[in-house]
Structure 1
Amino acid sequence: MLVDSHCHLDFPDFAADRGGIIARAKAADVGLMVTISTRVRKFDQIREIIEAYDNVYGSVGTHPHNAQEELDVTADDLIRLAEHPKIVAIGEAGLDYHYDNSPRDAQIQGLRAHIAAARTTGLPLVIHAREADEDMIAILEGETEKGAFPALLHCFSSGAELARRGVALGLYVSFSGILTFKNSQAIRDIAAEIPADRLLVETDAPYLAPVPHRGQTNEPAYTAHTASVLAEVRGWSREETARRTTENFARLFRKVPRSALGLEGEAAA
């Protein structure tokens, strides 16, 4: 089975047919999804979804676009909400210098609070990074010196240096439908070089639908298209790609029961 490690099932795009979307994902062998929080103040919507569907887990956090709105959200707030048994990650948080929807100092403050929560809980931090490679590298390396924390560079579209430095810090890297785009050869080249035990796949649905659905509303079932391109890039079969990315997900998202992923035994060290 495949895992969609990052989607937004709470977004209005999915409200009318959420059950159908989850059923289509299962039919496409996408057996588990993580619906990612973008506003802590809307956490109740995440909680409602993860409690309604056995194969959907969630995160808690504030997207950098919304950082200015939630500067009062503390690491302790995130830690408390992460006690829910199906909250398996912190974030998404990070830096987005493309849109700058929140001031950069607010984005940085939010990111540091999320790092502290990830360090305390041991849950992976889901990192959003866009056109902010130098600052992201500096923050991740500086914070790691204070104490390691698990993390994932999600929907990777940054430069090779951020990927290299992130992997050196122990981070994982997830690829979305961007990997399938005609003009994304540089991203495919990075995916070819990431260590095999650090790769994940995702949709970031409802955004960034992969080829052949580009331009449409994305949904978790389309994880299979990104996985197929990753298989081509790595020279793996589709089965091996599913096995490797699911094992990697299990290693990073340790709170998800391995039985929920069709895996046996204890999590890998």
Structure 2
Amino acid sequence: MTVTFLGTGTSQGVPIIGSKHPVCLSNDSKDKRLRVSVLVSWDDFNYVIDCGPDFRQQMLSNPIEKLDGILFTHEHADHVAGIDDIRPFFFRQGDIPIYAHERVINSLKRRYDYIFADEDRYPGAPAVRVHEIFKNRSFTLGGVTIVPIEVFHNRLPILGFRIGDFAYLTDVKRVEEDQIRKLEGVKCLVVNALRIEPHHSHLNLEEALAFAKTIGANKTYFTHISHLLGFHAEVERSLPENIHLAYDNLKITI
């Protein structure tokens, strides 16, 4: 299984438009972060987790011939606003499977009604095949078991996913014990680490380090990173040996 970090930034990306913060002015490519998303590939299958506003750019940087589906963690714009850019895949493949909680599906239907229309469809619009995810019901994609993990983004319940020995959690602030048990034995964990200071709906660096220690994966990568976490190179040097900052276009093998 190969995981490609398509984007590792927070909702505004890094750099932030018009910002003069030193990290936003950095010349290090690892300090330039598109909105958060990953491509998970195994055998002949390609699945994307979240499809944010930078999806087109991410696919041009990491081209794939086919997209087998999109798993959505939740409905916030930085995780869904690129859904219209699935059109090239739709024109080649037909309806693109999407997997999401019922609340997220309903949000997408309201905001992108033309994608879900049954009648009077615009000829250039993409179409999707909807699959509802239930928080305590695993499912199978490409012969691999997908285990939904419910986490809390402030008070909003959202989903992470365990895919074999890989687990992807973003926008996390709190995880209940019964969901943590689903992560036992995972070899590679990805979780958000927004910044140094505490935040009401995201783990900060200290909290993310504590969570990583609790899970005890062989490797942990931090994502959904803002400019306020600091320079990539400096933060990376401060982390334990088995914990790393992810960066855009990083590829890892599980």
With structure 1 as the length reference, what TM-score do the two structures score?
0.40
Greater fraction strand = 2
Greater fraction helix = 1
